[in-house]
Structures are given as C-alpha cells and as structure tokens.
Structure 1
Amino acid sequence: MTDNATPGDGQTVLETSGTTTLPPNMQVVAQFIRDFSFENPRAPESLRMEVRPEIDMGVEMNAKGRPDGLFEVDLKLTVKASNPDGAVFAIELVYGGLFQLANVPQQMIEPTLLVECPRYLFPFARRIIADVTSDGGFFPPFFVEPIDFGTLYLQQKDNLAAQQTQGQA
C-alpha cells in the first residue's frame, strides 16, 4: 500500500492493488446547544462555601442518522453539586453537533459517532459549564475533568450485551 498525494485536492489517496480509496473523513457541519439548564437554588448563601461540595456527574452520548445523510450527535452532561446543607448547583447541558462522515467503514460508524464526535464536542460543552458556574457566582468555576469516551463507549456496549444476555435467560 502506498500513499500518493492527488494534485490540488489536499487529500492523501491510498492505492491498494490498483484500487484507489480516500481515507475516512469526519466533518463538523454545525454545533449547537440543544437544551441547557442551570439552577443555583440557595444563592447567595451557596456562594460562600467553606466546604468543597460533593459532585455527582453523568455523561450520555447519543447519535442518529438523518435522511440527508448527516448524523446528529448529542453529548449530555449533568452536574449536581451538593454539601451537607443541600443542593449547591445543578446543570444539565445537551450539546449537539451535526456531522458528515465520508469513507468510514460500516463497522467504524458507531464508534466514530459515539467516541470521536463527542470527543470533538467536549471542550465546547466543558467551556459552557465553566462559564455558567463562573457567571453564577462560583469561584473558582467548575471545570469538568477530561472524559475518556472510548472507555465509556466500551462500558456502554458491555452493559447492553449483559442486558441482552439477562433478557434471553
């Protein structure tokens, strides 16, 4: 197999046994906030915390195809902070993207949509959460730790397989 540059298109063309294929490609068509909620129920008392709050966080990734051949991918992040006195803040963010895939092998479409696309969306969603906690009066702002979407995807697949096995028993 050899890599050859096609003049003028900026893409690498792969030649294998006389056949020419283009490499897999993912393009972001659009990004958007689908749903967003921030609650600061005990402000301003919650802003003078002496104890670091306990954080409960959830992550979900969803993807679906569209009739136009594009894919919608949603990254849902939920963050609930509390201390012994009660809720400090609650955030629910569904950050979406519209993606176009080209030359992606069929077996790689699902992992691309549920690992690579959320990996691309994550820094933007993380920034929204940091900004809203800062704007909500919290210092320092809450920064979501990096997420290993590959591991989450594999766990999700394992959980689904275990549920299907239990359902058949």
Structure 2
Amino acid sequence: MADNQQQSSERQFSVQRVYIKDVSFESPNAPEIFRGEWKPKHELNLNTKVNPLNENVYEVVLSVNVSAKVDDKVAFVVEVQQAGIFTANGFSEEELGPLFGAYCPNLLFPYAREVVSDLVVKGSYPQLVLQHVNFDMLYAQHQKQAMEQDESGGAQPSHH
C-alpha cells in the first residue's frame, strides 16, 4: 500500500505551453462562391502526433482540417496544427497512450476550435463552431482497430 501511495505522489502532469504550430486558410473559389446559395457540406479530419522532446517532456500536435463545399466547389479549407508541450512524470507506458491520445487533444481542441472559427469569419463566411469531439472514444476506436490489424496479421501503419 505504501508503494502505491509513494508512486502516485511522484506522478505529475503539467501543461508547459499551448501554441499554434501551423495554420492555413484557403478560399479557392472566392469571390464567385459568395454569389450562390450558402448550403455547405462540411468535412472534419483530426490527427494527433506525439513528439518526445526531453525526458518526460512531450509535444502533442492536434491537426484539425475543415473543408466546406457548396455543390462540387470548395468554399474554404482550414488547417490548424494546435500544439502543446506537456510534462508527464511517473506514468506507465499504458497510461501515456490515453494521456497523449485522448486527454491532451481534449485540452488542445478548444484552442483549435477558436482558431478555425476566427479564420472562417475573417474569410467572410458564416461563423462555424465545431462541435465537441469525444477523443476518449476516438482513442478507444483507434486502439481497437490497431489490435484487429495485429490479430489479422496485416501489419499496416496506423494513422490516428
């Protein structure tokens, strides 16, 4: 019991910094796109990447790509890489997966959502507020897919 208490007191997680690593806004069919009826179809793609920096220090990059099309014409494309530097001490390898694959993206997503919303409005489009994303569920799905690929022997590179 004392070992568990000692181990938990040594566990530390902290956010050192949150920043925009890369941002892009394209409106390839402006100004023509503004002349038609605004009934867009949106597409959202997410990706998370973890870069070890130092011992127990990691950069987590959440990539958010949003596109809007009206009929077959692209109205806009927004790409944001929202990043953070995190310190994680005393966590097992099994704990680091969900920490970086779900918890950190949950922390970063509101910042990325704000950047997307600001860029869309500045591009002269109606405000777009992305709905909350359940990164815990996405991480669990990714883990399940990775296990199924391992079991089927299809050693495909995994993308998340």
TM range (shorter): 0.7 to 0.9
Taking only the aligned residue pairs, the percentage that are identical comes to 26
Q: Does 1:63 align with 2:69?
A: no
Please give the secondary structure, in 1, of the residue aligned with 2:54.
Answer: coil
Residue in 1 that maps onto 2:158:
none
Moved more, 50-59 or 63-72: 63-72
Q: Give 1:30's match in structure 2, choosing from 17, 20, 23.
A: 17
Residue in 1 that maps onto 2:66:
79
Residue in 2 that maps onto 1:154:
140
Structure 1 runs of 4+ aligned residues shifted over 3 Å read 16-21
Query: What amino acid is the match of 2:95?
Result: M
Q: Report deviation, 1:100.
A: 0.3
1:93-132 aligned within 5 A: 93-132=80-119
Greater helix share, structure number: 2
Cα RMSD of the aligned pairs, angstroms, is: 2.1
Query: What amino acid is the match of 1:76?
Result: S
Residue in 2 that maps onto 1:135:
122
Mark the CA change 1:124 to 1:48 in structure 2 (over 3 Å): closer, same or farther: farther
- Unpaired runs of at least 5, structure 2: 156-160
Mark the CA change 1:34 to 1:17 in structure 2 (over 3 Å): closer, same or farther: closer
Larger Rg, first or second structure (1 or 2): 1
Please give the secondary structure, in 1, of the residue aligned with 2:128.
Answer: coil
Query: What amino acid is the match of 2:129?
Result: F
Query: What amino acid is the match of 1:131?
Result: D
Please give the secondary structure, in 1, of the residue aligned with 2:49.
Answer: strand
With the length of structure 1 as denominator, give the TM-score of the two structures. Answer: 0.81
Higher relative contact order (CA 8 A, sep 6+): 2
Q: Report deviation, 1:48.
A: 4.6
Mark the CA change 1:56 to 1:137 in structure 2 (over 3 Å): closer, same or farther: same
Count, aligned residues: 153
Query: What amino acid is the match of 1:162?
Result: E
Please give the secondary structure, in 2, of the residue aligned with 1:66.
Answer: strand
- Unpaired runs of at least 5, structure 1: 1-15
| Matched-pair contact (CA < 8 Å) for 2:59–2:83 | yes
- Whole-angstrom CA distance in 1 between matches of 2:88 and 2:30: 45
